[in-house]
Structure 1
């Protein structure tokens, strides 16, 4: 990978002949992720000939293009103009949606899996939830679960495996839940496990290896290759960067009920459109979070 001319903002580098990588910041933040999503949205709206894929990430942007159609210098110049336009925005907002995700916390599936891999863990005794509560100085697993579902999460990127969302808690940094990954990865993780590593939450879209702590299991699919559910009629991947997630605890009965709706093909995620206002999120996180979550009332 060679380096393009560095500017005062993001760092631009080339990946072979077909990729432009824009590094907005070295650290994840709401502001950096907002810039990534805003730049991706503006570039997509331009419908540029030669651009085949636009992938916003935690604090960066990857663009795939055809150099035979779009000269690299022209693409870089266009993206730099978009970066400048986003930086000049006086009151940055992003049109997105808030989605409710039902989760069975402390479920038997992830607990059984965790028990099989305790030798890979910092704390061989106990559960991942007990470890996470202790790591965050909380008095109980219940308090940790309350903190986990009590505030919204921003989908900062989608990837690693098909449909897997990485989520960043929309709270001040000192209130963010943080927990290290397993000392060495597991070879098994149940599909739809709600996991956590560092400051990021995720939902494992399929069964497979993993190293994040396991807190519960989501009740409905987030990846549907057959597109059998109404929420997947346009695309097999449910989440999009910029989505806002509200986890909702359910018990076993609630989980089984939702599983029945999924099998019948009738399940729909509760969701509502929202205009995410970066300044308000930074100035009054608690108040703005309540306002965002209230959009789900009556849906």
Structure 2
């Protein structure tokens, strides 16, 4: 199901809402329901559930969501500590320049600042962590979130992907391609620009950390993310907590209001970030 040709908050709201509705119906024959940026994939067994019946149910849910007077969703906002300009991504950045990158002479952050008309990498970093992001979908590899910045379109950070994909990306790299941020959940190939490294896992297949007791993947579509810059000392401290099995992400429940986010993004973002003030790790 495609709700729009381009990613926007309304299309993403429809995708996640219809996905939740189909999941809640527990239709026999539905194998998987996977919401994406502006679309929805449903895997099903046509010998058990007729395609026309599935289409009818999905269209009913879409109609209900479109005609609702309030486009709101119960979700949560999660704080993600990030070591920007870390040595791990910096080393990989230097290995993949000639033939891979648009500007082999600089760093990914330097290039990102330049194409966004910003003064330097420091200003880009401030813009990157200064506003919350919406997890629009999870995929590509296990647990990798794609995130859409909750600012007016004219202020969104946009950076093209590498000219040619890398064969290496450090685990937990905070990357950016087009208008989307991501966190690489595992080490592997990739083409997004690299800005830093998240301090704690977002994918825990052994489910050893408290945040993963119910599921091995941290993020869900509809989650909100606030990046928080940390220095090396705090990064190392968080790593020690991860090793001890005591680390927990700071998070708080919130109601995401699509109309409020579109009408006055700056004011609404402040209310979202205030929800984290009283939260504990």
- The TM-score normalised by the length of structure 2 is 0.98
Asked if residue 256 in structure 1 is aligned to residue 236 in structure 2, the reply is: yes
> Which residue of 1 is the match for residue 216 of structure 2?
236
Q: Report the Cα offset of residue 281 of structure 1.
A: 0.3
Q: Report the Cα offset of residue 51 of structure 1.
A: 1.2
Alignment of 1:17-96 (within 5 A): 22-96=1-75
Q: Partner of 2:270: helix, strand, or coil?
A: helix
The runs of 4+ residues in structure 1 deviating greater than 3 Å are none
Aligned mates of 2:116, 2:72 — CA distance in 1: 32
Q: Report the Cα offset of residue 42 of structure 1.
A: 1.4
Q: Report the Cα offset of residue 205 of structure 1.
A: 0.4
Aligned mates of 1:93, 1:212 — CA distance in 2: 31
Q: Partner of 2:11: helix, strand, or coil?
A: helix
1:201-246: CA deviations, max 9, x gaps?
A: 0000000011000000000000111001010011111100000000
Q: Report the Cα offset of residue 251 of structure 1.
A: 0.3
Aligned mates of 2:234, 2:10 — CA distance in 1: 36
Aligned mates of 1:236, 1:91 — CA distance in 2: 32
1:136-190: CA deviations, max 9, x gaps?
A: 0000111100000000000000000000000000111000000011110111000
> Which residue of 1 is the match for residue 143 of structure 2?
163
> Which residue of 2 is the match for residue 100 of structure 1?
79
Q: Partner of 1:295: helix, strand, or coil?
A: helix
> Which residue of 1 is the match for residue 256 of structure 2?
276
Aligned mates of 1:145, 1:283 — CA distance in 2: 25
Aligned mates of 2:27, 2:277 — CA distance in 1: 39
Asked if residue 131 in structure 1 is aligned to residue 111 in structure 2, the reply is: yes
> Which residue of 2 is the match for residue 199 of structure 1?
179
Aligned mates of 1:159, 1:31 — CA distance in 2: 20
Could you tell me which runs of 5 or more consecutive residues in structure 2 were left unpaired when the two chains were aligned: none
Aligned mates of 2:28, 2:67 — CA distance in 1: 26
Could you tell me which runs of 5 or more consecutive residues in structure 1 were left unpaired when the two chains were aligned: 1-21
1:99-118: CA deviations, max 9, x gaps?
A: 00000001111011000001
